[in-house]
Amino acid sequence: MPYEPPTHSVERSIRATTGAKIIAGIDEVGRGAWAGPVTVCAAVTGLRRPPTGLTDSKLITPKRRTTLAAELEQWVTAYALGDASPAEIDELGMTAALRLAAVRALEGLPVRPDAVILDGKHDYLGGPWQVRTVIKGDQSCVAVAAASVIAKVRRDALMAELEAEAETYVPYAFAANAGYPSPVHKAALQELGPSPQHRLSWAYLDAMPRWRHLKKVRISAEAAALESGGQLGFDF
């Protein structure tokens, strides 16, 4: 299906209205997976013309995505990745884990952005960052689309590496499904239960009586604050 290529219109608008000069696009991958980290990429692109074919990573074939990611890593002004592990997702919940991964990505950039474009309608990042949310930003904004492709390729490679390095993960076929609920992945979970890379607070365990006892129940941030005397141990 034909699609409109991303533009710098949002970046130009932010520059014109706020005076921001360095603008990072942010996108995440792995939010809906059952296993593996959630990965966030922050990319700074300036206003140059992007490589041909850039769009949301989900609209690009795996082969082309890998080639494009390599081009983008050389083309962007700067980029950095941040992860939140399955254990952190279980402990914090997805919204806080996304923020943790995004902050790690932003702090990994060689320069601090003046503003951030966040894919989607919900601002999970918040202050002190100046954030502009853009629905389908991974299709319409150059910096966000670049972050989308780089994050997807890097996380897919990480999941494939897990399978290659440890026989424990082979039955789950992480190289093929990247931790998402494919039929092979579901069958392995039913038979073997969750691995150390699985998110144990996810609802999929409710449908697996044999392994349901492993499910972790995350207490709310408010309850955790009361239990620890208001000291959560991280600044969210």
Amino acid 219: pLDDT: 59
Nearest to 65 by CA among 157, 175, 182: 157
Strand runs (DSSP E) across the chain, as ranges? 23-29, 38-44, 78-84, 115-119, 131-134
- Please compute the mean of the pLDDT values over residues 35-49 and round it to a whole number: 96
Amino acid 227: pLDDT: 34
Bridge-based pairing of strands 115-119 and 23-29 is: parallel
Q: What whole-number distance in Å separates Cα of residue 121 and Cα of residue 8?
A: 19
Q: What whole-number distance in Å separates Cα of residue 66 and Cα of residue 79?
A: 16
- Please compute the mean of the pLDDT values over residues 137-146 and round it to a whole number: 94
- Give the model's confidence band at 232: pLDDT under 50 very low, under 70 low, under 90 confident, else very high: very low
Written as six digits, the tokens of 49 are 């013309």
Q: Is the pLDDT of residue 25 over 50?
A: yes
Amino acid 229: pLDDT: 39
Taking a C-beta distance cutoff of 8 angstroms, is the pair 29, 152 a contact? Answer: yes
Amino acid 2: pLDDT: 58
CB atoms within 10 A of CB 235: 5
Tokens 């059952």 -> residue: 34
pLDDT digits (tens, 9 = 90+) for 63-78: 999 999 999 999 999 9
Q: Is the pLDDT of residue 151 over 70?
A: yes
- Please compute the mean of the pLDDT values over residues 21-26 and round it to a whole number: 96
The top-scoring range by mean pLDDT among 55-59, 67-71, 227-231 is 67-71
Among residues of the chain, what percentage have pLDDT more than 90? 82
